[in-house]
Amino acid sequence: MENAAAEITLATKLQFLPGVGLDRSKRFQKLGLRTVRDLLFLFPRDYELPAPPASVTKLREGVPASLVGTITDAEIVSRTPGRSVFGAIVENDTGAVRILFFNQPFRADQLTFDRQVMISGEPKLNGLRWEFVHPKVTFLDEADNDGSPPRPRILPIYPLTDGVKQADLRRLTRDLLPPIVATLTEVMPDRLRSLAAESLRVAGIKLAGALPPIDTALQQIHHPDDEQSLLGARSRFVFQELLVMQLALAMRRRKLTTDLQAPPLPSSGIVEARILKRFSFDLTGDQKVTIAEVAADMQRQFPMNRLLQGDVGSGKTVVAIYAMMLAVANEHQAVLMAPTEVLARQHYQTLRQTLADSRVRIGLLCGSLGASERRDVLQRTASGEIDLLVGTQALLSDSVNFAKLGLCVIDEQHKFGVGQRVALRSGGVDPHYLVMSATPIPRSVAMTLFGDVELSTLKEKPPGRGTVNTYLSHDGWRDRWWAFVSQQLDEGRQAFVVAPRVDAGETDSDDTEDIASVETIFAELSNGPLAKYKVGLLHGRMPNDEKQSIMQQFASGDLQVLVSTTVIEVGIDVPNATVMTILGAQRFGLAQLHQLRGRVSRGTHAGHVCVFTDGPQSPEENERLKVFEKTNDGFELAEADFRMRGPGDMLGRKQSGLPPMRIADLTEDVQVLAVAREIAQAMIDDDPELAAEDLTELHGQVMRRYGKRLELGDAS
Ligand code: ADP
Ligand code: MG
């Protein structure tokens, strides 16, 4: 049996620690703590900061305050059992206060004459004297372990479970740390810690000196000397955790480039000019940059894996067309997949227009095709007769075979769900992938979930875009709003009305009565405020040809108003539509609202969006709608959404395959994440297997934590 008094190491079981024992060690197990290592790497979730001491003259009734002083008088005022009262006077240069404890006679033994204390609590004025009842007391005359002058300390706050007290954990970590820290192995060599600190400072983190070595850092993360040391220690562990993750992702990016084979599809001046001639406008700066990135990716012999994010209307399709033309110019096929049939057809039309009178042969594959039409498309795809195939998820069917697929473009990828990789394979080589999304991914998610993907961003909008005004409706606004809509229609514009459900009978929750239904709305509007105008109805349950015909009529201006569910959400391009009414808006997420709004900012006229809610809203729903009204920047909205919902929603889906973070907070520590990513990439570029002698420990940590999950193989 282990001798508790002998040597305590990281591996020592908690039950063998003095003062713990078997019973209490079981409670620790509920927190996942079995060994000394578990305990010391359980990082505090927060800290209790000592309030800066005030002076007696500045005390205010009921406002929490701390005072430092000397006990100048102490006595038990009443000894009545069950009603004993102990009182003492704490005095300093600025005055004296009384402290009182009821039924705690033991206080008389601690709070004795002449002791130095700091008290914290809520002062009350009793006559002319300030009183603190049951204040928190810190003794300042007990020298610190290291013999430094006494001072109030920052205290760790640990996650707790039944039967484990804050005081237990504080005592254990305080006692265990000094002997243990000396035995720890450093994972990050000096050079790495200095480099990291330098970069973190550039990123705006106010570190003094290098990141602390493991012994100091572990001591300071639990029992910091001051806030600066705490910042240093926390930065070190956050950086280390994120660095380990980013090293793993960088190793994986590298591995993908060596394991997979794609056809090189290079561009040239002539090809480029021929493609660009197809557009009737000049590309935006961002489009040019992205196209250069895409061209550079596609000429390599491993697959491009690029995510193109750009707010609605930023012109992502141009980039897609460019990439597809590049594939065709290199005698390969390209496929473009969209989440809805409406959008797939729209892309098909756009491609046909853009490539009219060229030799590029374009096909369309979606669910509503007739059997013979479908057979024909499949056959021509397999024989290589079709160069560009546009379609919906129908493209994923087993019966779709390409003769020579070189590129796969996925539009509105957020509609397909995070992490979904599309498997379209053709003849042994892997196609290049271009994935497009109008829902910008928060930076931290892009650097983690999509950590092995290259990122391009279109921030700049094509010139001549109207602005969009967003209004949150107020009581009694309906009449005024419909009057405004009518006025816009009279000026020749068109309008969308969006509602969340198809019909009032559909139930998927317990409060369906309030749900605005497109069918009711359609009836109300076409018989009421918009009776003068041509109003159409569109929803997902209509037969496809009917949907097509309605969309067509709206696009051509035959319909002035389109009452619709969110089928119109993705990608629909009708520049003359400038007014949108969103009903039941509390049911939509921020990203979805923003997508909808994107439908009315596509022409040169200013867009107007009015948001109506039905029924009472929760404070979160309210908050969301306010943010939506305030900001029109998709990136800002995505970050706000991420902050409001927390990373759990996006990262917690477990599709990421990434383990949870122990100390880093992906919503807060984005700067550190960016620094870790940059350093990790440089390290892997320089030393792909982390073979340097002083990186052995770090390499081991990467493999233990991520090796299996990211299929990094056995790199040892
Ligand atoms: P999204 O990024 O939302 O998919 P689209 O690619 O549908 O945006 O582009 C929106 C509209 O802007 C289209 O009508 C497209 O023709 C037009 N457009 C794209 N790029 C430019 C540009 N550089 N200059 C002018 N118009 C452009
Ligand atoms: Mg689009």
CATH no. of 1-49+162-183: 1.10.150
- Distance of alpha carbon 123 from alpha carbon 566, whole angstroms: 58
- pLDDT score recorded for residue 634: 82
What is the amino acid identity at position 342?
V
Quick check: 301 and 259 in contact, CB under 8 A? no
Return the pLDDT at 687. Answer: 95
Report yes or no: 90 and 67 within 8 Å, Cβ to Cβ: yes
Q: Please enumerate in sequence order all residues whose Cβ is within 8 A of that of 473, keeping only pairs 6 or more positions apart, or say none.
A: 481, 610, 611, 612, 613
CA of 32 to the centre of ligand 2 (A): 47
How many H helices and E strands in the chain? 22, 22
The pLDDT assigned to 570 comes to 60
Distance 573 CA to ligand 1 centre (A): 9
With CA atoms as reference, report the closest residue to 451 among 250, 662, 699, 687: 250
Q: Which ligand is nearest to the CA of 463?
A: 1
pLDDT at 710: 75
**Segments making up each domain of the chain, as ranges:** 1-49+162-183, 51-153, 269-458, 468-631
Q: What is the rounded distance in angstroms from the CA atom of residue 486 to the CA atom of residue 481? A: 9
Topology at the third CATH level for domain 51-153? OB fold (Dihydrolipoamide Acetyltransferase, E2P) (2.40.50)
pLDDT at 486: 96
CATH superfamily of 468-631: P-loop containing nucleotide triphosphate hydrolases (3.40.50.300)
Query: How far is 687 from 702, CA to CA, in rounded Å?
Result: 14
**317, 346, 353, 354: residue to mutate for ligand 1 pocket, most atoms within 8 A of CB:** 317
Tell me if 212 sits within 8 A of 233, measured CB to CB.
Answer: yes
pLDDT value of position 606: 87
242, 663, 700 from 233: Cα distances, Å: 14, 11, 22
Name all residues whose Cβ lies below 6 A of ligand 1. 281, 283-284, 287, 310, 312-318, 438, 462, 571, 573, 602
Distance 672 CA to ligand 2 centre (A): 33
Pairing of strands 388-391, 333-337: parallel
The ligand that comes nearest to the alpha carbon of residue 344 is: 2
Q: How far apart are the first and last CA of the chain?
A: 35
Given this chain, do its domains 51-153 and 468-631 carry the same CATH topology?
Answer: no
Helical pair 190-202 and 227-259, crossing angle rounded to 10 deg? 100
Q: Taking Cα atoms as reference points, which of 162, 163, 143, 165 lies closest to residue 153?
A: 143
The sign of the torsion formed by the CA atoms of 158, 164, 170, 175 equals negative
What is residue 397's DSSP assignment?
S
Residue 344 to residues 290, 565, 618, 695: CA-CA distances in angstroms?
23, 18, 36, 50
Nearest Cα to Cα of residue 50 among 146, 165, 159, 138:
138
Nearest Cα residue to atom 9 of ligand 1: 315
Residue linked to tokens 């098909």: 348
CA 540 to each of CA 172, 340, 536, 612: distance values in angstroms, whole numbers, following the listed order: 62, 10, 14, 22
Nearest Cα residue to atom 20 of ligand 1: 315
Question: Are 569 and 595 contacting, i.e. CB atoms less than 8 angstroms apart?
Answer: yes
Q: Summarize pLDDT for 125-148 with one digit per residue, the tens.
A: 998 899 999 998 888 877 655 555
Query: Whose C-alpha lies nearest to ligand 1, atom 22?
Result: 462
Cα–Cα distance for residue pair 117/115, rounded to 1 Å: 6
- Atom nearest to 282 CA in ligand 1: 23
**Fold of the 269-458 domain:** Rossmann fold (3.40.50)
In angstroms, the CA 338 to CA 391 distance is 6
The token pair at 522 is 């359609």
Ranges of the chain with pLDDT below 50? 1-5, 418-420, 425, 504-515, 648-656, 715-716
The pLDDT assigned to 654 comes to: 40
Residue to mutate (ligand 1; options 281, 439, 465; most atoms within 8 A of CB): 281
What pTM did the predictor assign?
Answer: 0.68
**CA–CA distance, 76 with 102 (Å, rounded to integer):** 10
